[in-house]
């Protein structure tokens, strides 16, 4: 009986460690600012993936030069729940995004809202927030 108790405790400890390791593997969004910026540009690539989806878009800077931005969205499953499919946004589409820029100033953002070429706006961060009136 004592042997079974020790084995049970060891297995329970191992399971707890596995769950803790998995939970700790997901990163925070601390590398993004708390403020939003709006960007308009042309979609270069779309990757609907798990654990995070990505939209790469070409945006013209203040001097008119095209720069590629990497915009991080929620996972493919979360996007599918709000009606986003592989046909929603395609390379060549003009889009507008509202996102949290990277703290280090590089060209990356955590996506909040994305407006497609037909004017449809969705919360690509998966929070299902109301669409801002000024977007």
The verdict on residue 26 lying in a domain is no
Whole-model pTM? 0.78
Model pLDDT, residue 21: 37
Domains of the chain: total: 1
Q: What is the CATH number of the domain that holds 76?
A: 2.40.50.140
The verdict on residue 108 lying in a domain is yes
Mean pLDDT for back-to-back runs of 10 residues, the chain (135 residues) = 55 40 52 95 98 97 96 97 96 98 97 96 91 92
Model pLDDT, residue 122: 96
Structural domain including 106 reads 37-123
Model pLDDT, residue 18: 38
The verdict on residue 21 lying in a domain is no
The verdict on residue 129 lying in a domain is no
**Strand ranges inside 16-107, DSSP E:** 37-47, 53-60, 66-73, 94-101
């Amino acid at each position: 009986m004592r042997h079974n108790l020790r084995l049970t405790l060891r297995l329970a400890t191992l399971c707890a460690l596995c769950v803790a390791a998995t939970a700790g593997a997901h990163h925070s969004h601390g590398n993004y600012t708390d403020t939003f910026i709006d960007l308009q540009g042309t979609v270069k690539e779309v990757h609907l993936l798990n654990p995070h989806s990505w939209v790469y878009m070409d945006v013209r800077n203040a001097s008119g030069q095209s720069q590629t931005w990497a915009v991080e969205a929620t996972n493919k499953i979360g996007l599918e729940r709000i009606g986003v499919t592989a046909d929603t946004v395609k390379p060549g589409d003009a889009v507008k995004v509202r996102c949290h820029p990277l703290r280090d100033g590089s060209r990356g953002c955590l996506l909040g809202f994305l407006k497609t070429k037909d004017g449809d706006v969705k919360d690509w961060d998966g929070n299902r927030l109301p669409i801002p009136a000024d977007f």
